[in-house]
Every structure is written in structure tokens, then in C-alpha cells.
Structure 1
Amino acid sequence: MTSPKQNVWFVSGIDTDAGKTVATGWLARRWMDEGFTVATVKLVQTGAPDGRSPDIAVHRRIMGVTLPEDAEGLTAPALFDYPASPHLAAAMEKRTLDLQAVLRAIETVSGRYDRVLVEGAGGLMVPLTEDLLTIEFAARQHWPVVFVTSGRLGSINHTLLALEAMAARGMRLSHLVWNEHHPSPDAAIDADTYRYLDAWRAKHWPETGMLRCPAIGL
């Protein structure tokens, strides 16, 4: 199943704390300022004991809007209490992650907006179920990827491994987003990491844009 409109982007990053949530909200706001109608969806939200998505709440604060789809349950269609990988969070609640229901929600949202950003849980290799990785699910939908990285030590390794995994599955990298919301404490590492990743992007993914997500007061 794929979106009826080719207007869905998948947001992932180097790990759980890559800054995907802030980057998703920021990019949505940027596109709104360019004149597009934009919605964001959380693919699977774990760590939601009150039945609400904390990541969607951050998106809305950055975007400066509320969306009716939030109240309809369409922007956080899969909520789990325990803050863990989706496969474990679902198992702990003795529930099954219904990915077809998630896709139906995304399709409904995509029919109402010009652009939709779907934020994943953790990195690309996070298991959604015992048998399905996040990257496999996103690749099946043919969603272009917005990938979030940063200047902290280890980011070059994590970013290049993720890009290699994407290339192996024929995925399209739409944007590489440099997250300045959580800057590296080492300015030299931060600057060189940006330089290296930007050069790698230009050489191996020349069609991909590189964006800087600034620090945002939340």
C-alpha cells in the first residue's frame, strides 16, 4: 500500500536522540512558510502512557498550529506506553502493531495536505515487529527519506552506515538535515563532521539537499 498522492516524506536519523522530532517540526514550518499545507505524522509513538504523542505535541509547537487530524487520531495512529522499540513496546502490552491501520491513517492525511512528514521511531534499523525493520517498511512505501544527523562524535559512522543501507534498498535521500538543536560540545569535531558529510553527500547523493535545522526554543 502506498500513498495515493506522492507527497509523503519519511524522517529518520542516526539514532533515538538524533533530533528527528525537532527537525520534523522545523521542516514542516519551513514548508508552511513557503506556502504549502503540511501535516506531520508519528509512525509509531512509544513512551506515551497518557494516550497522546509527545512528539506530535513538539511538532505542533514548532509549527504554531493545531490540526484536526490530531483529535481524529490520524497523526499518531499507533501509541504504546513503554519507551522502547516498537516491537518490544507492543509485546509488553500484548498488542499487535497494526501497520495497515497506520498506512490508512497516513493515506487519509496525505489526501488533505500538500506535504506530509512521517517521523519514525529511532533509527532506520529499529524493528517495528519481530520480522520487519523500519527501513524495510519505509522502502516498501517508496517514501523519500529526510535523514537527520549532527556533529557529535560518531555521527559520521552512523550516517554513512544508514546511507549505505538506504542505497542497498534503492531508497531516495531527499534531504540530509544537520541538527544544530543539540550541537556537539566539541567545535572542531562539529565543524569537520559537517564538512565531511556535506562532501560525501555532494559526491554520492548529488541530488540531495543539505539543510541546517537551527536551535529552537521549546
Structure 2
Amino acid sequence: MSVLFISGIDTDIGKTYATGMIAKALMQHGVNVITQKLVQTGVARDLISGKIGIADDIITHRQLMGIPLQPCDIDNTTCPYRYEKPASPHLSAALANDILNTDVITSVTKILQADYEVVLLEGAGGLLVPITEQLLTLDYIAEQGYPLILVTSGRLGSINHTLLSLEAIKSRGLDVHSVIYNHIHDNAAQTDEQIAASTIKFLQNYLAEYHPTAHWLALPVQEDNGFSHTDFILPQNFV
């Protein structure tokens, strides 16, 4: 298993934080790991050169891992498709008069696999976000056969979104590698401790019945600066 795809039940669920924390934990276990971003939208353009910058999520991954940007980041191997418009990839690419070719994404993943034991490939938005007019994110994952890590939370509605995502994964015949609970929404509007605790219990029971080989993990609570002083402990057989 050299590629794990990290997705979430929705946008702003904490995929980037999860990806960076998993990478950091794997590094601490002596695993040679790198992260990749499927496609990044909402990337700032340099006012002088006019060039699109490095993917924001890749920068965050490296900060969480405690390492500088790598050569494969600087030459954009870890995220070849970056767009200025913060929107669904199919729209952002169209507005940039660009054509997103998933073969390019696959080829750079293989390049990274040659140098690293594990590649953590973070998606954009949820599983059914369109990459192009013809291809959903989940279609691409199914083509590649990547095991999936799904990030969820205790926000009101998360049970529904999580089960829908798990059903979609199952319909493509893909493996649910892990479900990661992110505490990011524990204190959000319309969510309280009872809702969050009930969500955790329900999803754990659901996984045990329908996806018994999947890992259940909880991310350390993020500090105000977006980081955590608590190590993220992975199960011994995670990879």
C-alpha cells in the first residue's frame, strides 16, 4: 500500500490537517512519506511574475510535518494543477482556460512513489466533487483503486454525510481504510457535546458492523494557531 487517498464528508472538514498529521505520525515511525494534492483552487497569483503559487495545502502539510518545502513541492510535482478561482476544480480550470488532465496527476503520483514509501493524496472537497465536466473525484479514485481515508466531524448532519460517503465508496467497490473524527466542529453552531458524543458512538458502531477492517481514529484538538501539541498516534498496522 503506497498511496492513500484522503477525502472528507464535505469541504472545510479538516482534510489538510488530517493529511499533515498522518504524515507527521508516519515520519515519527520512520516511514518515508510525502503528501500530494489532487488539485488546489483559490491559490494566489504572484503580482510581479503573474505565476500561480505553490498549493496552500501543501505548504500547510509541510508546516504540520515540521519540514521545509521539498524540491517536489517547489517544482509543483506535488500539485501540478493550481487555480486562482476558489471553486470546484471543473469550474476553476474552465475559468483559467485550462484542461485538467488526470493522467498528469497519475504520472506525478508514480514519480513520488518511486522516491517515497507512502504517498498521501489529498482530494479537493468531498468525494463527488467534479474534477472535470465528465469526471467526479470518486470516479478517479475508483480508476486508481486507492484505499480511502474519510474525515468527518461531530457537526449536526455529519452522520448523514458520513453514511452517504461510505455508501458511495462501497458502490465503487473501494476499501475504506480509515474514518478520522476531527474535533473541529464540536463547538460549532447547532452542535454540542451530546451531539458530538452521539455522532462518535453511532459511527463507531456503524463501522464495526459494515466496515470492520477500517480504522477509527480521532485527531488531536487543534490549537488556535491551527496546530496541536499532542502527537497523533496511529495503529501499528496503519500502513
TM-score, normalised to structure 1, is 0.95
Alignment partners' CA distance in 1, 2:72 and 2:184 = 27
- Give the total of aligned pairs: 213
**Is the CA contact 1:42–1:56 (under 8 Å) kept in the aligned structure 2?**
yes
1:23 aligns with 2:18: yes
**Is the CA contact 1:150–1:184 (under 8 Å) kept in the aligned structure 2?**
no
Match of 2:87 in 1: 84
Which residue of 166, 186, 201 maps to 1:163?
166
Aligned CA RMSD, in angstroms, stands at 1.0
1:145 aligns with 2:148: yes
Match of 2:232 in 1: none
Alignment partners' CA distance in 2, 1:129 and 1:191 = 38
Deviation at 1:161, TM superposition (A): 0.3
**Is the CA contact 1:40–1:117 (under 8 Å) kept in the aligned structure 2?**
yes
**Is the CA contact 2:54–2:73 (under 8 Å) kept in the aligned structure 1?**
no
Deviation at 1:62, TM superposition (A): 0.5
Which residue of 182, 190, 197 maps to 1:191?
197
3-state SS, counterpart of residue 211 of structure 1: strand
Deviation at 1:102, TM superposition (A): 1.2
Match of 2:214 in 1: 208
Alignment partners' CA distance in 1, 2:11 and 2:141 = 17
The residue identity in structure 1 corresponding to 2:65 is M
**Is the CA contact 2:35–2:120 (under 8 Å) kept in the aligned structure 1?**
yes
Q: Can you list the C-alpha shifts for 1:33-66, whole angstroms capped at 9, x where unaligned?
A: 1110110000000001232211111111110012
Structure 2: segments with no counterpart, 5+ residues: 46-52, 227-239
The residue identity in structure 2 corresponding to 1:60 is R
- % same residue: 44
Q: Can you list the C-alpha shifts for 1:115-143, whole angstroms capped at 9, x where unaligned?
A: 11000000000000111000010111010
3-state SS, counterpart of residue 41 of structure 2: coil
Alignment partners' CA distance in 1, 2:107 and 2:221 = 34
Matches within 5 A, 1:43-192: 43-50=38-45, 51-66=53-68, 67-185=70-188, 186-192=192-198
**Is the CA contact 1:178–1:213 (under 8 Å) kept in the aligned structure 2?**
yes
3-state SS, counterpart of residue 124 of structure 2: coil
**Is the CA contact 2:7–2:127 (under 8 Å) kept in the aligned structure 1?**
yes
Alignment partners' CA distance in 2, 1:139 and 1:184 = 35
Q: In terms of mean alpha carbon deviation, does 71-80 or 150-159 score higher? A: 71-80
**Is the CA contact 1:86–1:129 (under 8 Å) kept in the aligned structure 2?**
yes
**Is the CA contact 2:130–2:137 (under 8 Å) kept in the aligned structure 1?**
yes
Alignment partners' CA distance in 1, 2:183 and 2:78 = 26
- The ranges of structure 1 where at least 4 consecutive aligned residues each deviate by more than 6 angstroms after the TM superposition are none
The residue identity in structure 2 corresponding to 1:140 is E
